[in-house]
Amino acid sequence: MTQRPSRKVLVTQRFFDEQSLAYLRSNGCEVHIAELADGQGDGDLEQDRLLELLADADGWIVGHAWVTAELLTRLPRLQAIARRGVGYERVDVHAVRSSGKVATIAVGGNDASVADHAIAMMLALGRRLGDSKARMVNGGWAIALGSELYGKTVGIIGMGRIGRGVVRRAAGFDAKVLAHTTRPDWEYGMEAGVRYVDLDTLLAESDYVTLHAPLLEGTRLLIDAAALARMKPTAYLINTARGGLVDDRALLEALLDGVIAGAGLDVFLSETDPAYRATTEALLALPNVVATPHSGASTREGLQRTNLIAAQCVVAVLNGETPPSSCVIADGRGNSSTEE
């Protein structure tokens, strides 16, 4: 009996669980997990190192590495690129199609994790948890008076799966929900108690503004100095989506000047632009900023789900099948030309 040749799959992410490994291996895949230094992500790997790791790979489960045309043209064997996440601004989708490869995202895997994280940041800011601990560490036990999420107005920018997850969670706090999106679903709004409004109204009326929009040309630096000035001085900004949605320098100035009350930040402009590193450090030093290192999606449960979705997408492509349409961002199979 002829044994099916092994297909090599490279994983350049941490926390790849045993269930997902077993799934790949049971489908004839030889799995290699890249060794990353402490604090290093695959987005930090030089292209030469990626080329070395991917030289004989058929599938790639990737996190934040840039998937470029130059990289893909030098990897003729590679067939499947599966992002363990839902953002794909670092993937050159045109190059994927032109090179005859398939790229996917892990739709639905981390929705709950990020929605939880957004609510956690609202609670931490309102109840001044970080500030209170810092005071206690320094011997100060005076109470830092906070505010409730209960009954407040939550403004959600972007109403995809994560935004809707925040709606469900906010309902448990009897919060009023405003939403701004380019494609309002009026039937859903009626059922969920969501009021769709323009951006200016959302900024002016919300006690918490939380971002769940994709990073596109039209949303880049959506929250700038003018937008921050429209918010209440008692309001909080939450960003668990993409750093490029917020002008971090304008946010820093707004926080220093008391334009808004605080911010919860899981993502930063400095992740893609080192020129903003000093701004990030200044934001982290503020007592009214709650910050995490782009970890909103990183729960054990969320990563297990996204790992498995990515693994299933890779196997489908290597088997000549089509992954779920909601996961496919580029499919160049059968494309015999170099142009679309």
Structure tokens at 167: 């709606």
Give the three-class secondary structure for 60. strand
Give the burial class of 159: count Cβ atoms within 10 A of its Cβ; 0-12 exposed, 13-18 middle, 19 or more buried: buried
Assess if residue 154 is contained within a domain.
yes
pTM, whole model, 2 decimals?
0.89
Strands (E) in 28-181, as ranges, are 29-33, 59-62, 80-83, 102-104, 153-157, 176-180
Q: How many CA atoms lie within 13 A of 27 on its CB side?
A: 21
**Residue 5, pLDDT score:** 56
Assess if residue 320 is contained within a domain.
yes
Over residues 110-139, mean pLDDT: 96
Give the C-alpha separation, 127 to 301, whole Å. 27
Same domain for 277 and 147: yes
Query: Are 302 and 109 a contacting pair, CB within 8 Å?
Result: yes
242 is catalytic: yes
Query: Are 153 and 175 a contacting pair, CB within 8 Å?
Result: yes
Written as one letter, the residue type at 8 is K
- Percentage of the chain modeled with pLDDT above 70: 97
Torsion sign (Cα): 65, 70, 71, 77:
positive
Same domain for 259 and 157: yes
Catalytic option among 70, 294, 301, 321: 294
Other Cβ atoms closer than 10 A to 4: 7
Return the DSSP state at 44. G
Give the three-class secondary structure for 296. coil
**Can you tell me which residue has the tokens 């939550």?**
154
Same domain for 182 and 33: no
Assess if residue 151 is contained within a domain.
yes
Total of domains in the chain: 2
Catalytic option among 242, 281, 301, 321: 242
Catalytic option among 127, 271, 301, 333: 271
Same domain for 120 and 23: no
Assess if residue 19 is contained within a domain.
yes
Structure tokens at 217: 């040309």
**Residue 1, pLDDT score:** 37
Over residues 158-174, mean pLDDT: 97
Same domain for 121 and 91: no
Q: How confident is the model at residue 339 (pLDDT cuts 50, 70, 90)?
A: very low
pLDDT digits (tens, 9 = 90+) for 32-76: 999 988 878 898 899 999 999 999 999 999 998 999 999 999 999
Assess if residue 62 is contained within a domain.
yes
Same domain for 152 and 54: no
Assess if residue 337 is contained within a domain.
no
Torsion sign (Cα): 330, 333, 335, 336:
positive
Same domain for 159 and 206: yes
Query: Are 92 and 43 a contacting pair, CB within 8 Å?
Result: no
Same domain for 156 and 86: no
Residue 117: domain span? 111-291
CATH number of the domain that residue 237 is part of: 3.40.50.720
Same domain for 160 and 66: no
